Structure 1
């Protein structure tokens, strides 16, 4: 398979075997690697990748990069997949294709202090290409990319496209502020208006605040759950 090609200021690092791109990216970032590193592994059954960012804003604001990467993934797959394939995004990073869970985005940072400017922030993508089971009826709420009419989508091309669309999103975020990102993310959001459980709170998922915090209404009040709480290790 031809190695993916990335835009200027991004560099690729392929890993193999038991090495997980997300953990490798965190280790490289902690050692002081440049922002723009893309650690990836394209396997027979899954695509895994992680992007290294160095935001120059407080963590509470920098967390917008997680939904931004989700929108970038939807745009990337939308450019490569058949038009009937629908992608939606869960608040905490889950990805849904045609309504079923299909991988996730995850995040880690050098700090969990919302007011501190992180040295680095990692967003990882985990995308199953083929189902784990030969009988998908056993897990009707879980799917894989190639089970949803996307067998012609080359994972290296999808990775390239994800990075490119994410870069476009970052430039838009820096130039125009968060409002356009909010609008696009809401269009893709899964579960708004439904009753869900989060942080031991059961209530109606009303939407998000200006920093993508979840607004969750129970019988007594509306709770704000900051997006920083989805950070791994937070």
Structure 2
């Protein structure tokens, strides 16, 4: 069966974003996550930076929280929810879209992408950050059939027909705005609980999210606390040599 590799025409149109968003586009060699951080203070909230890559759907969005940094980092879960919802809207039916804590996105048991979160380096835990940047990547295609030992997957190889980067970015922006509305009405704890619904869980372990975003995993052996800040710093899903999700 031929692989549905993205066509150059798919990247010529620009996303139609909800009111309040502004779009910045970069050439294929650009880095959306780094560029969004560089312009965040001046560009402001809802600036979305998109790299026109064929193999990876890569973008980043600037957020302006009104909470101290320790609580504001829960926006990572908000944005990951929006990323998973965008993927789920366009994926073939009855395929699971799950999270691997805290930042990897799993599609039908294969790594398809992930998210990163950045904040000003000089911002203290008790201070309100001037900005946050959430960066996302989804693998559009592996450019090859599945290989032995490969744990990553691509949308083209997994049956995402007639779906391109623009569709996913538009969907992400809409779901992000909906998530912000829920955050404002129900609070960040509700956002974290919704993220937990998609966590790729281990039988016998109960999970919870602390007020600062840390994960608590409780089993018969006791409770283990996992630091959100440390995990975000590692970004274990990202292949830093290739600049995309690990295969």
Task: Provide the C-alpha distance between the structure 2 equivalents of 1:179 and 1:216, rounded to a whole number of angstroms.
Answer: 17
- TM-score, length basis structure 1: 0.85
Task: Report how far residue 70 of structure 1 moved.
Answer: 1.3
Q: List per-residue Cα deviations over 1:31-58 (Å, max 9, x = no partner).
A: 4221110001132111100010110101
Counterpart in the other structure of 1:209? 209
Aligned pairs, number: 222
* 1:23 and 2:34 aligned: yes
Counterpart in the other structure of 1:121? 132
- TM-score, length basis structure 2: 0.81
Counterpart in the other structure of 2:77? 67
Task: Report how far residue 59 of structure 1 moved.
Answer: 1.3
Q: For the Cα contact (< 8 Å) 2:28–2:53, is it kept in 1? A: no
Q: For the Cα contact (< 8 Å) 2:22–2:47, is it kept in 1? A: yes
Task: Report how far residue 206 of structure 1 moved.
Answer: 3.7
Question: Cα distance 1:180–1:219, how it changes in 2: closer, same or farther (>3 A)?
Answer: closer
Question: Cα distance 1:180–1:218, how it changes in 2: closer, same or farther (>3 A)?
Answer: closer
Q: List per-residue Cα deviations over 1:161-191 (Å, max 9, x = no partner).
A: 1011011101110111134323321221113
Superposed CA RMSD: 2.3
Counterpart in the other structure of 1:46? 56
Task: Provide the C-alpha distance between the structure 2 equivalents of 1:33 and 1:139, rounded to a whole number of angstroms.
Answer: 42
Task: Report how far residue 220 of structure 1 moved.
Answer: 6.8
The within-5 A match list for 1:215-234 is 215-216=216-217, 221-232=222-233
